[in-house]
Amino acid sequence: MATIPAVVERLNDDAMRVTWSGLSADDIGESVAGLSEHADRSMQMFGNFDGANVLIEGSNNAANAPFETLNDPSMIPLVYSNARLREILEYVESIRPHVIGGTGSTSVTVIILAKRQRK
**pTM higher than the cut 0.95:** no
Label the pairing between strands 15-23 and 107-115: antiparallel
Q: What angle do CA 68, 23, 72 make, to 5 degrees?
A: 40
Provide the CA 108 distance to its chain's centre, in angstroms: 11
* Architecture of the CATH domain 3-115: Sandwich (2.60)
Tell me how far apart the alpha carbons of residues 36 and 47 are, in angstroms, rounded to a whole number: 27
pLDDT at position 63 is 78
**In contact, 6 and 94? CB cutoff 8 Å:** no
pLDDT at position 119 is 62
Task: Please write the tens of the pLDDT for every residue from 96-106.
Answer: 999 999 999 99
Least confident span in 18-27, 36-45, 78-87? 36-45
The predicted model gives 81-102 an average pLDDT of 95
What letter represents residue 113's amino acid? Answer: L
Residue 117: Cβ within 10 Å count: 9
